Structure 1
Amino acid sequence: MKILAFDTSNKPLSVAVVDDGKVLAHTESTEMKTHSISILPDIKEALEKSNLTVDDIDLIAVAKGPGSYTGVRIAVTVAKTLADTLAKKLVGVSSLKLLAANGDQTHILVPLMDARNDNAFAGVYQTVDGKLENIIEDQHTSMEKLFEKLAQYDENSLEFINATPRLQELIQNQFPNAQVITTENSLPDAAKLAQLAQTTKPVEDIDSFVPTYLRLTQAEHDWYAKGHKDDGNVSYVEEV
């Protein structure tokens, strides 16, 4: 299976083309402000390096969030457009799960994205029968509440991934024996995204596929403040 995978939910833009587990091409850019400009040229470059055209691709894989609001929207929009226009299968993978793939698969993996003020986007993952399974759902949480949920595990088995200096400080104060992988050593990798996509169910309705933000944007706060409600059927994203 030929997979085109890309992620713009974090600082790097990562693009990969993978064929039956073999990485044919892999490109990365660390300038987030240029993601909207460089994503399509980077995809084109990756395909050219693979000696493939986009028509040869069987499946498109995208990191669906959480992460940078703008970054997540860029990748999801491109993925939806390509999948719909070219009639390709589309898979969305949690950006936190993608970070978890950087960890030691024998550990309890806690991927993080710093959300400021001692808060984070976080999930908890464990490898079961060779597959990463989400054992505590992805969420926007305070580090204090996250630590309370992690108290059930042996701290020697915990591995935190993508920790900024401030998050690393908090972690080491609470779990001094836990493993910590810092942000610079745990960049998301589109080749690993393609690998995760192989065991992820494709999106059934491309039109309704939206990013996973896990917290309200300022626009959503303003929208709800004006009296709009999310009734479970029509959300802010769908309405807009």
Structure 2
Amino acid sequence: MKILAFDTSNKPLSVAVVEDGKVLAHVESSENKTHSVTLLPDIQDSLADASLSVNDIDRIAVADGPGSYTGVRIAVTVAKTLAFTLDKPLVGISSLKLLAADGGDDRFLVPLMDARNDNAYAGVYSNEHERLVNVVEDQHITMTKLLELLQDYDEDQLEFINATQKLTDLIREKYPHAKIISDEDSLPDATKLAKLAEHAEPVKDIDSFVPTYLRLTQAEHDWYAKGHKDDGNISYVEEV
């Protein structure tokens, strides 16, 4: 199976083409440009490096959030467009699950994204039979609540992933012996995204596939404040 995978939910951009576990091409970029400018050229370059056309791809995989609102929207929009136009299966993978793929096999993995003001996007994962299993759902949460939620776990079995210095300081106060991987050492990797997507269930309705933000944007707050309602037929994301 040939998989085109890409992630723009974090600061770096990552694109990969993987066939049956073998990496054919991999592009990572942290240049000071917007992902909207670099994503499509990086996809084209990756396909060229793999000596494939986009029509040769069997599956498209995208990190669907949480993360940068703009970054997540860019990747999901490109993924939906390609999947719909080419009639290819589309798989969305949690951006936190992708970060958890950097963790060890024998620990409870706590991927993090700093959401500022001592808040984070976080979840808890474990490796079971070489598969990442979500044992505490991804959520937007205060660090105080997150660290309290983890108190039933053995501290020596906790591994925090993608922690900024601020989050690291908060974790160390509560769990001084927990393993922590900094945000500089746990960048999203599209090759791992492709691996996660290989056995994942494709989305059933590409048109209704939307990013996972885990909290409302300011624009959504304003939209709902004007009397709009998400009634199951139309949501803010779909309308915009």
The TM-score range, normalised by the shorter chain, is: over 0.9
1:122 aligns with 2:154: no
Residue 77 (1) aligns with residue 74 (2): no
Contact 1:12/1:32, CA 8 A, preserved across alignment? no
Offset at residue 233 of structure 1 (A)? 4.3
Partner residue in 2 for 1:212: 212
CA apart distance, 1:199: 1.9
Unaligned runs of 5+ in 2: none
SS of residue matched to 1:197: helix
**Identity percentage of aligned residues:** 71
* Partner AA of 1:47 in structure 2: L
> Could you list the runs of 4 or more consecutive aligned residues of structure 1 that deviate by over 3 angstroms after TM superposition?
231-234
Once the two structures are superposed, the pairs formed by residues 175-214 of structure 1 within 5 Å of their partners are: 175-214=175-214
- Checking the alignment, whether the CA contact within 8 Å between 1:26 and 1:46 is kept in structure 2 is yes
Q: Deviations over 1:16-53 (max 9, x none)?
A: 00000000000011136421011111001101110111
Within 2, Cα distance between the matches of 1:166 and 1:140? 17
What does the per-residue CA deviation read over 1:69-92, in whole Å, with 9 as the maximum and x for residues that have no partner? 000000000000000001111000
Q: Which deviates the most, 52-61 or 229-238?
A: 229-238
Name the structure 1 match of 2:46.
Answer: 46
Task: Say which SS state the counterpart of residue 17 (structure 1) adopts.
Answer: strand
TM superposition shift of 1:232? 4.3
Match of 1:172 in 2: 172
Aligned to 1:228: 228
1:234 Cα deviation after fit: 3.2
**Structure 1, gaps ≥5 residues long:** none
Q: State the match for 2:59 in structure 1.
A: 59
> In the comparison of the two structures, how many residue pairs are matched?
240
Q: What is the match of residue 30 of structure 1? A: 30
- Between the aligned partners of 1:103 and 1:8, the Cα distance in structure 2 is 20
- The aligned amino acid for 1:189 is D
1:218 deviation in Å? 0.6
Q: Residue type matched to 1:107 in 2?
A: R
